[in-house]
Structure 1
């Protein structure tokens, strides 16, 4: 029962990547129109943070946008939880901003539609503290895609062919539509700008302006993503690049914990995470599809590592000493006691993994 409870709690993380409960608007608004509303929200967040030391405007903005759709304790682990008082302040000061919280897709300057709140969540995961960004963006979506054919075959090419129908589908159907893929890739890229000190609206506007001005927007976004997520790569080396994507995916602590908690993996005799046979091929195929999509967008180009510099590892925003005890996860627990439930689930999953390893050692 404890294991199933832990799995259910961890499943909430993947829910943060799936479609929310809100109905889509008849037509996707343009990004530039949406950003006008986001700027009004940011103005309120700046004013609030100025009056409430320890509050962060970006965190307030991202949580206000995402907390209604991603209403679970694990989202609090990503960015520290929403602020009920700030939400009430926004409702009183500018009630029209409430519509942002149910927004689905927006139309980008490059012409595609992207799941906006999915994009903001992926970017926020890179900015915040707690849950790794890989499992909260493309890694989580790869798991969701693979689970759709769990047990189909232990042959990777068979799973690859079956999953290719859903991966990057521009029609928005399937388990990994194009609007989600763009949200994952762009979310990682925008998240880099957030950590460099930009506001959400400035990060989005600057990023998409550069994409629109690029001769090949698909190549430009994929190049930035490969540099940020994989440290650069030779995407023309198909097997080598596929291996790099897989290694990055499977070595992520959040991905491994998610696989263990949902019983997609277990612990082997070497005390290492071992994927179940019925999920091994689907997961490899999902990661191969991601690698091949990036390589195709880049036409097999070599992507250089990101240039070193102070912006590559920005210092965290200083917290006044008197506010330090109230910042971060503890502040989130005080605001949302339900966060303890999510933390208990994470600890239970980790405990079960260790217990399984000790049990195997006892049997030796």
Structure 2
């Protein structure tokens, strides 16, 4: 009867011991394997010894305090050995009978298994001892690989830094030296810059149209293009023109024509504002007996010259402008060629060039 009452309490007490032993198994000390194998021995111990046995196991508790510090130097193992027997056995036995004999019975039941289990093989620590070197080997290999990878990255970074070309430092260009300054001159005033003024107040373009040789005279048809380039308007412009033959006295004849007081007006008067121009057709006649004929290689020829005289009113004064042109057939060089008198009527085209009398 008493055996049936104590059986649940003892099973609970011994069942707690394997749990604590499994938690302390990682330590390399021998006590953990002793605790793990206790559940296999508890049924045999419980069936052999009844709760009311003789107090022969009383002297056994003496090795319990000695074995506890020797077997478990660490505080982890001693704690689970003292916890389960005292509270669990007291609660289970105190329920049916408060006698002190019940409290002493569980203590010898728990202590004797320890010397019997020490000789048994220890399966639990074997995998722990075998796995620890493997774990440390794996950790060492990982650390070695990490160190090697870090060294490779560092070496690669150093090579990349060494391969970067150093920036080329360009020396700043020296500032250009200022041009040498000339010493100031005393007593010299700079000349005023005046805008260019046209040398002639009028621009005249001479265009010969026809030259006809008659028995009594030479007829010349021409056209004048007159433009006012003086910058001021010209009022009452009058035009006079005369045809002469080139000769050794041609400059004197031209000067006499342009300086005469009697002005043979041929066109006008008309006003010509500044910057404007006009077209004026003219026809001149030259008496054949006044020609200066030159015999060149047995052939007669002459060169006509046309003198132009312009007069206009500028305020209260009369101003004058003269120009002379030599005309003829178009020569090889673009200059006027002489007019031959033995070839009949000359044929164009005709050209003219400006003639300037010698001083």
**Structure with the bigger percentage of strand:** 2
> Is the TM value for this pair above 0.5?
no
Greater relative CO, 1 or 2 (CA 8 Å, sep 6+): 1
Structure with the bigger percentage of helix: 1
- TM value normalised by structure 2: 0.19
TM-score (norm 1): 0.19
